[in-house]
Structure 1
Amino acid sequence: MRVILPAGTTETALIDGISAAGASPDLMEHTPSADVEILAYGKPTMAPVTPVSPNGCPTPAAVTRAVREVIDFDVSVVDAGLAQPTGAPTVGLGVEPGADIRNTVAVPDAQAIFDRAHAYGASLPDDELLVGETVPGGTTTALGVLTALGEPAGVSSSLPKNPIERKRQVVDEALTASGGSAGSFDGRPIEAIHAVGDPVQATVAGIAAGALESGIDVTLAGGTQMVAVATVLRHAGVDAPLSIATTSFVDREQGDRLGEACYRLNCALTVTDPGFDAREHVSMARYCAGVAKEGVAMGGALSLVPDDRMEAVLDRFEAVCGRLGIEDEDDGNGSGNGNADDPANSSPEDDRAP
């Protein structure tokens, strides 16, 4: 099994009130670069930050890394618009960071990105792929694309209280700036990304489309951001069998909406509960409290774990947290690492993402 992880950035993440990806914009743009280093090496190497929220919740990259240390899988990181360099090896497709979706154009070369990613996906030798993502601001851009395509729009958040009304306001402003409206991009999914999306969406959709057309089984590893990608694929006429694998944290927040979206898109849905509530580690408690929820292929990676090895994954997750400097108990201030200046994980959910 290979995990493909497109990683990128969008200036949409810098909009006040929508992202938990970091208090400082200068640090936030390093989050995807750090995520892929954690997945590749178990800790940041070149990135100057560890993506951990001020209340002690580590990036989902730590969970995905823990799974990798238990069951092992191949990883290919795709530079899908990184704003900062990473020490992890990457596949370069010539992708630039995305603009604020409130600009006239969010992803100027969306079609070219999709085409290059399609060629890459079609060239892969694998029988099965998990395709994840890491991009701060990703649930807001997901909402933008879903709204532009006229699909029922509900997205998750890495915050316990989802700032959905703020996201909708941003999307309304974005559609106005691009000369569109809700549903006006129906049947034109790449144009929707061009107008109000992000470069990671174009990359994930292109890789998935190319792989599916080559007969490779594809699972989109993530939550509501991957619902947006699946919607792009269906609007693009890709009707091959497709799966989405996410966490119980996203499923709990979304209720029936997630299953209904997957049914509408003819996507199989796998939801995995990692059993964090059985442990007392501060990081697991933060996930159970609704922080982060998903991202960096977390749900897809967890879906690969046999039931009798999940305890080993939890043990490794605690070890990875220790490596990242996160203590195993709360310090009384809600912080597991005592550094309130570290960027919150983005999750692609946080907005970064589900």
Structure 2
Amino acid sequence: MVDGLKTYGNEEINKKFEGKTPVFICTIATTDTSKIHGISGAGASEELNMYTPAADVEIMKYGAPHCMEEIPETVSEGEAAPTPSMLTKACLDLTGCDLEVVDAGCEIRPDLDCYTLSNSHGGDISTGKAVENPKEIYEKALEIGKKLSERYDYLVIGESIAAGTTTALGILKALGYDAEYKVSGSMPYNPHELKLKTVNEGLEKAGIKPGDVEVFDAIAAVGDPMMPAVAGMTIGSSKPVVLASGTQMSGVCAVIKAIKPDFDFTNVCIATTKFVARDETADIFDITKQISEDITINAVDPKFETANHGGLNNYLEGFVKEGAGAGGAMFMALMEGKTIDEVLDSIVKTCSK
């Protein structure tokens, strides 16, 4: 047993990561879905949601954003909840892990070298026109997965995309899964009705009957650019993969299974936070079991209740929960042999700068 870690599923999979050398990949994208009022708390406003993914990876690389003046804040009460990219930054600094950034389609581009898979960002899924070129994104990402898995023992693939749980609901419902009222969110109040209304409008306008659609057509209608990118890297990898996120990655798993029905999920785990695993407004476990009984979920408890940092306490109240691969970054640090106390200390220092 590793202090600060609870494994739901096959604990043996973690032996594939212990003491090995990973690369951390943050896949970023933006969609016009995130501009719908009240659907996401990933930024201080709907307008700033479009800056959050680029700012997140700039924080990971430079320690501060370049595309905007202030560090992006998740909507919260009292002292602002630190963006989860600061948690990821703390773990990258603690482990010395290499960082790669994959831009699957952003309106605001990051100021750093990265893999660029698309020149267009995602649309509003309520229009039924969400992603222009999902198969092209997938095919480019497939090659990235192959390339990086030749250099590292395993891949940790995180994501930063505002309104990602809404698009996750979109793809899950399109592919025939029962995900209504089960995706998580970045606020204590989970706007399920708004998410469902947005998805249903998109499905209707695209003429999609749930469970009866080709996967890339589903992404094109009600998905987002991050999905084919992460699915491609995961399928392309010859090494084990950690999917670093919450219910967004259940959507990715659904895409992977639709593309490759015989895909071996025993070589993959989802790594997230306890805030997602214990989210009473969602159910990541039910969603993933519908996709495959072989999907293991690792949930990290960063013990924020012991931290002397007001902003981190917002995570305990249901704000943020996950993002920018934070859960996977903490899991990666634990697999390297760092203690959860060392992880927390690095997070507090990073957030206090």
TM-score range (shorter-chain normalised) is 0.7 to 0.9
> Which residue is 1:62 aligned to?
86
Partners of 1:114 and 1:37 lie apart in 2 by: 24
Stretches of 4+ aligned residues off by more than 6 angstroms: none
Structure 1, 279-288 or 152-161: larger mean CA deviation: 279-288
Contact 2:276 2:321 in 1 (8 A): yes
CA distance in structure 2 between the aligned counterparts of 1:204 and 1:28, rounded to whole angstroms: 21
How far the C-alpha of 1:2 sits from its partner, in A, is 0.4
Q: Which amino acid aligns with 2:184?
A: S
Distance 2:42 2:246 in 1: 17
Residues 296-344 of structure 1 show CA distances to partners (whole Å, capped at 9, x for unaligned) of: 1111111123376322222222222223xxxxxxxxxxxxxxxxxxxxx
SS in structure 2 opposite 1:76?
A: strand
Distance 2:109 2:218 in 1: 28
Equivalent positions of 1:1-354 (< 5 A) are 1-54=22-75, 55=77, 56-124=80-148, 125=150, 126-153=152-179, 154-185=182-213, 188-211=214-237, 215-237=238-260, 238-240=262-264, 241=266, 242-253=268-279, 257-264=283-290, 265=292, 266-306=294-334, 309-323=339-353
Task: Tell me the CA shift for residue 141 of structure 1.
Answer: 0.4
Secondary structure of 1:234's counterpart equals: helix
Q: After TM superposition, give the deviation of residue 162 of structure 1 in Å.
A: 0.6
Matched-pair contact (CA < 8 Å) for 1:145–1:193: yes
Q: Which residue of 2 aligns with 1:335?
A: none
Assess if the C-alpha contact under 8 Å between 2:275 and 2:321 holds in 1.
yes
Deviation digits for residues 53-85 of structure 1 (CA, Å, limit 9, x no counterpart) = 353101110111111121221110011112113
Tell me if structure 1 keeps the 8 A contact 2:42–2:320.
no
Does the Cα contact within 8 Å between 1:131 and 1:219 map onto a contact in 2? yes
For the 8 Å contact 2:184–2:282, the answer to whether it is kept is no
Q: Which residue of 2 is the match for residue 336 of structure 1?
A: none
Task: Pick 1 or 2: higher relative contact order, CA cutoff 8 A, min separation 6.
Answer: 1
> Per-residue CA shift, 1:181-236, capped at 9, x if unaligned?
33232xx222211110011111111111111xxx2111111110000001110121
Q: Counterparts of 1:322 and 1:254 in 2: how far apart (Å)?
A: 30
Compared CA separation, residues 95 and 128, structure 1 to 2 (3 A): farther
- Give the deviation of 1:50 after TM superposition: 1.0
1:250-304 superposed Cα distances (whole Å, 9 cap, x missing partner) = 0010589323333342212111111111224112210010100011111111112
CA distance 1:24–1:273, shift in 2 (3 Å): closer
The answer (yes or no) to whether the contact 1:31–1:49 under 8 Å persists in 2 is no
**Percent of aligned pairs with the same residue?**
37
Normalised by the length of structure 2, the TM-score is 0.85
Q: Which runs of 5 or more structure 1 residues have no equivalent in the other structure?
A: 324-354
Where 1:304 maps in the other structure, the secondary structure is helix
| SS of alignment partner, residue 244 of structure 1 | strand
Matched residue count: 318
Q: Structure 1 pair 48/181, CA: closer, same or farther in 2 (3 Å)?
A: farther
Shift of 1:145: 0.3
Once the two structures are superposed, what CA deviation does each residue of 1:11-32 show, in whole Å capped at 9, x if it has no partner? 0001122111334443221111
* Cα distance in 2 for residues equivalent to 1:82 and 1:62: 20
Q: Given the superposition, is the C-alpha separation of residues 113 and 293 from structure 1 closer, same or farther in structure 2, using an over 3 Å criterion?
A: same
Q: Aligned to 1:160, what secondary structure does the other structure show?
A: coil
1:103-130: CA deviation from partner (whole Å, max 9, x where unpaired) = 2321121111111111221222222001
Distance 2:157 2:331 in 1: 13
Structure 2 Cα separation of the partners of residues 308 and 9 of structure 1: 33
**CA distance in structure 1 between the aligned counterparts of 2:147 and 2:332, rounded to whole angstroms:** 24
Residue identity in the other structure for 1:298: A
Q: Find the aligned partners of 2:285 and 2:48 in 1 and give their Cα distance.
A: 35
One-letter identity of the residue aligned with 2:134: A
Relative to 1, partners in 2 of residues 1:59 and 1:193: Cα closer, same or farther, differing over 3 Å?
Answer: same
Structure 2: which 5+ residue stretches go unaligned?
A: 1-21
The secondary structure found in structure 2 opposite 1:132 is strand
Aligned counterparts of 2:280 and 2:28: Cα–Cα separation in 1: 24
